[in-house]
Structure 1
Amino acid sequence: MRVMGVDPGLTRCGVGVVEGVPGAPLSLVHVSVVRTAPDEDVALRLLGIERGIEALMDELCPEVVAVERVFAQHNVSTVMGTAQAAGLAMVAAARRGLPVAMHTPSEAKAAITGNGRADKAQVTSMVTRLLRLDAPPRPADAADALALAICHVWRGGGQARLAAARGPTVPGQAGPTQAEINAARIAEAQKAARSRSRGGFPR
């Protein structure tokens, strides 16, 4: 599975692509940051982010896009820019027929470090270790994007296997229930936790 993680931002939009499956070492495909100038018109900045993300999607051909779920913050202008960038990533994915997954920051942190309240240094350290990188990805937006991608490979695997086991969805046929999806996610998280306690990868 090739997953593109997007850490949305108006000034720096992190993009990280990893490849692998649950239970096996992951490999880094790409990591970068799409930047825009703070003094530029907002519409032009959004255009620049859109073009940057779309160019990377066309070049790297991800199978799924994982985007950070945006929550309200005290700084309204910051959260607005973040939400706008997240929307651009989702539209770019939809335009190419790619599924989009939303993960909260705490979900990504828990998947990577085992602690949903881990700080950026801890996340960066674990991303570097898991992808066997020679140096930590910089800036933090790049590491966060990779963390989102890794999170989806590990946590999205159970949901994908559940959907595959139930077969293709057809009109009039119900897909997996939310309870089934949650059960699959919990099982994946438990496997990951047991594996981390043994110093390995999720099984």
Structure 2
Amino acid sequence: MSTLRVLGIDPGLTRCGVGVVDVNPNRTASLVHVGVIRSSPDDEPGVRLALIAQGIRGVLDEFSPEAVAVERVFAQHNKSTVMATAQASGVALMLAAERGIPTATHTPSEVKAAVTGYGNAEKLQVQTMVARVLRLDELPKPADAADALALALCHAWRRGPVVAAASGGLTPAQRAWADAERRSRRA
């Protein structure tokens, strides 16, 4: 196994978080890029989706990820929010597929469990763990950017058997994630 470059996308029409990380076989990771693609709520939906697509294309072109992970749309009470998220998610998945880049979707609880060891973690806990894992001096902001990085880490850490680092093994969050995966396979 070699280093894997993953683009994580936290889809949204107003703010679409994008984060690129390089993850080594021992699960150590480094930040490559993080940002937020924005569109105005005053623009028509088609224009907003085109802006999101343009931003994602730019990240794909500049950083050449080997995989793309997108947050899986889940049911919310606000149907317009779900629709906007689903539309942005579809654009992201389509752009990756057009380039032949493997894609995956992960639920928010999967991502939180992978990064913090707890599927109901708060946003601040996710931001804090992402900063620690990537050895950042500051918490990634806004939350959409941190979520995109967490998605990329979650996806990379799920890519096969757990390989302990020679210098110290897995973090508690990584052990919790591996245990959760083993339990889910038995179910």
Short-chain TM bin: 0.7 to 0.9
Alignment identity in percent?
59
CA distance in 2, matches of 1:56, 1:146: 14
Matched AA of 1:196:
T
Asked if structure 1 preserves the Cα contact closer than 8 Å seen for 2:75 and 2:82, the reply is: yes
CA distance in 2, matches of 1:2, 1:198: 20
Greater helix fraction, Structure 1 or Structure 2: 1
- Per the alignment, residue 171 of structure 2 pairs with 196
Matched AA of 2:148:
A
Tell me, yes or no, if structure 1 residue 27 matches structure 2 residue 2.
no
Tell me, yes or no, if structure 1 residue 66 matches structure 2 residue 69.
yes
How far did 1:24 drift?
3.6
CA distance in 2, matches of 1:197, 1:17: 23
- Per the alignment, residue 161 of structure 1 pairs with none
Asked if structure 1 preserves the Cα contact closer than 8 Å seen for 2:19 and 2:145, the reply is: yes
Asked if structure 2 preserves the Cα contact closer than 8 Å seen for 1:16 and 1:146, the reply is: yes
- Per the alignment, residue 130 of structure 2 pairs with 127
Matched AA of 1:90:
L
CA distance in 1, matches of 2:156, 2:173: 20
How far did 1:25 drift?
1.6
Give the aligned length. Answer: 171
Q: Secondary structure at the match of 1:102?
A: strand
Taking a change above 3 Å as real, the CA distance of residues 73 and 29 of structure 1, as seen in their structure-2 partners, is same
Q: Secondary structure at the match of 1:121?
A: helix
RMSD: 2.4
How far did 1:199 drift?
9.6
Taking a change above 3 Å as real, the CA distance of residues 24 and 199 of structure 1, as seen in their structure-2 partners, is closer
CA distance in 2, matches of 1:148, 1:65: 9
User: Which of these residues, 94, 114, 119, is aligned with residue 116 of structure 1?
Assistant: 119
Q: Secondary structure at the match of 1:65?
A: strand
| Deviates further, 3-12 or 23-32 | 23-32
Asked if structure 2 preserves the Cα contact closer than 8 Å seen for 1:20 and 1:27, the reply is: yes
Matched AA of 2:138:
A
Q: Tell me which structure has the larger Cα radius of gyration.
A: 1
Taking a change above 3 Å as real, the CA distance of residues 197 and 94 of structure 1, as seen in their structure-2 partners, is closer
Taking a change above 3 Å as real, the CA distance of residues 27 and 75 of structure 1, as seen in their structure-2 partners, is same
Task: Map 1:148-159; keep pairs closer than 5 Å.
Answer: 148-155=151-158, 157-158=159-160
- Per the alignment, residue 13 of structure 1 pairs with 16
Asked if structure 1 preserves the Cα contact closer than 8 Å seen for 2:113 and 2:173, the reply is: no
